[in-house]
Structure 1
């Protein structure tokens, strides 16, 4: 998506925020907020936009594991750039490593 196109994205959360936060156990320390009706999902130093589809379609849970954070840094991508199926692959890899008592790492992935 182009930089100008991202400003066209508006919040379409159909549940209220409190129910969403409780359903996915998002800690209050992250200060979850919804953008206003005329605000775009803009990333700032103190705010990271999240897409609710990622939670429902691939089982995202916060806080992210240290492996997932290291992987995002390793590939220099933002969480919002991952496709839900790609994220499921990351989760599968992490669980597979745990199943064989291995330690997941970005280079190994």
Structure 2
């Protein structure tokens, strides 16, 4: 259930800075009622999609390339973008729009943008969430400075279908294996440069634990 209590948990849990001025909506406000100088974000970006603020350069490049505003993005789009970014970084690869396009095609559904699997490409995200319950109602406002890029509201429903060759024999393509989406803590995301948060105690070293053992940050196919 989305209420001010859960909103405040997100603000505290994800360590929003006071100057970001995150605001819970007033009664009757919709996600489109964004105050001047603010943007709208959805709770499921954080709870399901491993999204963090400030956003990474790769997230900014996705928004810039496809030309839509982050508030027009569905939670599933966020899941796919961040899952792809994690796979790349945990394999020592730099995530790029061109690599992302090898797997995904831009789609639009009821006014929100997402990414569908490119038909001939292998699936790198398995067992994704089927739906995000009432996600459109779970929103808040935050200062636009948290996304230091120019974002535009894309109005057209027309999306060109891209017919791209699939780089099946390239090293980076073969290294990205199918994995489920996982919700990671700050230590894991910080270790792969997907969060600027660090452990509170400086002697802590981020370690990915699997079967009770610490592992280096190269995502194994067995995970």
Q: TM-score, normalised by structure 1?
A: 0.71
Structure 1 distance, partners of 2:65, 2:82, is 16
Looking at both structures, which has the greater relative contact order when contacts are Cα pairs under 8 Å and sequence separation is at least 6?
A: 2
How far apart, in 1, do the equivalents of 2:89 and 2:6 lie?
35
Question: In the alignment, what sits opposite 2:22?
Answer: 32
Q: Which residue pairs with 1:76 in the alignment?
A: 67
1:1-46: CA deviation from partner (whole Å, max 9, x where unpaired): xxxxxxxxxxx53416443300222222311112222433323551
Structure 1's unaligned 5+ residue stretches are: 1-11
Matches within 5 A, 1:86-101: 86-101=77-92
Higher strand share: 2
What is the alpha-carbon root mean square deviation over aligned residues?
A: 2.2
- Would you say the 8 A contact 2:4–2:24 is kept in 1? no
Which of the pair is proportionally richer in helix?
Answer: 1
- State the TM-score, normalized to the length of structure 2: 0.39
Partner of 2:41: 50
Q: Which is greater in Rg?
A: 2
